[in-house]
Amino acid sequence: MTTKPAELSTTRLIEVFSAIQGEGLNVGTRQIFIRFALCDLRCNFCDSAYTWSAPSTCRIERSPGCRDFETHSNPVPLPLLLQWIERQNFLVCTIASVSLEANHYFTPPSWCNFYPS
């Protein structure tokens, strides 16, 4: 079975928001958190089991740090996800770094900090 290009250009999200990082090398800095759905690692210490499935909707913060979430349908086209990330950076004066919250089955891009979700 082959995957159609259109299927490759979407993702299933839990949420996107901006916050001050509370752990790791970037603690204390503003970051954009992108939490993906469908984690399949099943860690026994998991406190985020809601990421194990794919909800029909995801929540996207409209204004950085304001928790004024919009609700959008899953799956999300990747160009739209990139627009939301750009909006998070456009609305504040400082450029945030990006934290990806996902499982370990891919190589994260060099421009982001990677944390298991």
Task: List interacting residues with ligand SF4 (CB under 6 A).
Answer: 39, 41-43, 46, 48, 51, 103, 116-117
CB of 100 to ligand SF4, least distance (A): 12
Nearer to ligand SF4 (CB atom), residue 89 or residue 103: 103
Q: What is the Cα–Cα distance from 47 to 101, expressed in whole angstroms?
A: 13
CB of 57 to ligand SF4, least distance (A): 19
CB of 102 to ligand SF4, least distance (A): 8
Q: What angle do CA 17, 47, 116 make, to 5 degrees?
A: 60
Nearer to ligand SF4 (CB atom), residue 61 or residue 101: 101
Q: What is the Cα–Cα distance from 90 to 80, expressed in whole angstroms?
A: 15
Nearer to ligand SF4 (CB atom), residue 55 or residue 65: 55
Nearer to ligand SF4 (CB atom), residue 17 or residue 64: 17
CB of 17 to ligand SF4, least distance (A): 16
